[in-house]
Structure 1
Amino acid sequence: MKNKLNILLFISFLIAVAVYFWVNSLYSSQVGDIAFDASIDNSDFVVCDEDQIQQYYSADTYYEGGERAIKKELRELITQLNFEKSGIITFRFVVNCSNQTGRFRVKMVNTDLKETSFNFGNIKQIQESIKNLKDWHAGKWNNQTLDTYYNLSFKIQDGKITDIF
């Protein structure tokens, strides 16, 4: 009887250890996390807590004046860029606890939502314009300012940016 109890306790211990490591792995790296990459990221941009970068919608990260202000500030960019095709360009980046932006990543799809690419010069110009937006407000949780991810998407139709969302 004592031997069976020891085996049961040992198996319970192994299951508990396995569950602990499984749960820890789920929360240590989420899909879409943006790790620092020295080859493309500015080393002057720092986050407050590398292990706790939240999604913008769960921490209320926003731009002063909202989407309307972003569109207004990027209006000149919208009218001067020409693209060779239609699709959506999405920039994902971090707004750190100091209200600065960095770690930009871009995803481009065509109208069939298949991965594609657009002119590198246009992509770089959009990214620099986003970097120049200065009225970001980092998210907060329990009165503590957080680093958060943010997305901005640009809809391209007939060679022009027709919407930012």
Structure 2
Amino acid sequence: MKVLIRGACLLALLSFVLMSCQTEKNAGKYPVTVGDIEFDEKLDDPAFKKCNPEKLMSFQYYQGSKGFDYKGEKSAILEKLEKEKISSENKVNGYITVRFLVNCEGKTGLFRVQQMNAELKEAVLDKELENRLLRFAKSLDGWIPKEIKGFKVGYYQYLTYKIENGKVSEVLP
């Protein structure tokens, strides 16, 4: 009987250790915070640096801010977009979102793009229009570093372009 109990205890202990090791393996493949953008050597500039990489935390665009953290506010972006005259020959409708990280120097990187149709379902509207809007977002150089409790921090920002009949009709947020 003692042999059976010892065997069961040993088996339970071994199972726990194996599960614990498996959990540690899986922990490394998930971001620290939901929504974190992981560096991808095929997409990202290796010279772009996150703020305080040892803390592994970046904020969202709405944290620690009273307004749009861009020199000239959102209207400056809209003016620049108007001058660029970015549109598509295809009369598509939907949304193209460009999400990125602004570091504590106001520099941007880790750009990611998502397209959705007018029903908010993932779809490819127009790849060339996506590329133009991505280049436009990368060209914006007036991002203001955020300060929270006296420390400059990095933050995630996004620009969602509402597309109607192939033209940008609105920029969110």
Same fold (TM over 0.5): yes
Asked if 1:70 is matched to 2:77, the reply is yes
TM-score by length of 1: 0.78
Partner-residue secondary structure (3-state), 1:69: helix
Q: Distance in 2 between matches of 1:138 and 1:125?
A: 25
Deviation string 1:115-155 (CA, Å, 9 cap, x unpaired) is 00133222122111111111110111111110100010100
Q: Runs of 5+ in structure 2 lacking a partner?
A: 1-22
In the alignment, does 2:40 pair up with 1:37? yes
Q: Secondary structure at the match of 2:63?
A: helix
Other structure's SS at 2:160 match: strand
Q: Secondary structure at the match of 2:62?
A: helix
In our comparison, the structure showing a higher alpha carbon Rg is 2
Unaligned runs of 5+ in 1: 1-20
Q: Which has the higher contact order (CA 8 A, sep 6+)?
A: 1
Structure 1 counterpart of 2:154:
147
Of all paired residues, the percent bearing the same amino acid is: 31
Q: Tell me by how many angstroms 1:59 deviates.
A: 2.8
Which position in structure 2 is the counterpart of 1:81? 87
Q: CA RMSD in A?
A: 2.1
How many Å separate the matches in 1 of 2:93 and 2:45? Answer: 30
Offset from partner CA, 1:48-73 (integer Å, 9 cap, x none): 22301111111326111211111011
Q: 1:58 aligns with which of 55, 63, 66?
A: 63
SS in 2 for 1:67: helix
Mapped partners of 2:83, 2:99: distance in 1:
21
Between 1:133-142 and 1:53-62, the stretch displaced more is: 53-62
TM-score between both structures, scaled by the size of structure 2: 0.74
* Structure richer in helix, relative to its length: 1
Cα distance in 1 for residues equivalent to 2:94 and 2:86: 17
C-alpha offsets along residues 69-122 of structure 1, whole Å, 9 cap, x if unaligned?
110111133x34215310011111000011011110111111111100133222
* Partners of 1:91 and 1:107 within 8 A in 2: yes
- Pairwise mapping of residues 7-156 of structure 1 onto structure 2 (< 5 A)? 29-50=32-53, 51-60=56-65, 62-77=69-84, 79-82=85-88, 84=90, 85-156=92-163
